[in-house]
Amino acid sequence: MTPSNLNDLEQAIRDAWGADTTTPEHRPNWTVDNPARDQCGVTALVVHDLLGGVLIRGEVHVNGERVDYHWWNRLGMGIEVDLTREQFGPDERVVGGDVIERPAQIVRLREEYELLRGRVLAVLRS
């Protein structure tokens, strides 16, 4: 199923985020005040499922050191879609951005991905 427009997809994804779709090790710190926090990997995969394009991965730096990775999408004609960029605080900086091949099987965060994907598809079908 393809969403009728990017705004519909973005709203469906934002409405589907929860502590249960975030990275488990960060789940205790998830809040509704920053719902995009640690949702980037599963969100990028769902966007990729529905819109295609490529997956992009950059590094998150604090004080010049990598502390994590950040995922987003690049669609046709170089249009970048990053629905979780607002998760970062002023001391965090996303550096670089390399095209990453989609894993043949989703192992890490599979449950979270399937949960988010199912919620998004249910909203888009309604």
Secondary structure of the chain as H, E, C letters: CCCCCHHHHHHHHHHHCCHHHCCHHHHHHCCCCCCCCCCHHHHHHHHHHHHCCEEEEEEEEECCEEEEEEEEEECHHHCEECCCHHHCCCCEEEEEEEEECCCCCCCCCHHHHHHHHHHHHHHHHC
Structure confidence at residue 106 (pLDDT): 87
Structure confidence at residue 63 (pLDDT): 96
Question: What is the mean predicted confidence (pLDDT) over 3-24?
Answer: 91
Average pLDDT, the chain: 93
Rg, C-alpha atoms of the chain: 14
Q: Quickly state the pLDDT bin for 47 (edges 50, 70, 90).
A: very high
Structure confidence at residue 1 (pLDDT): 54
Structure confidence at residue 4 (pLDDT): 66
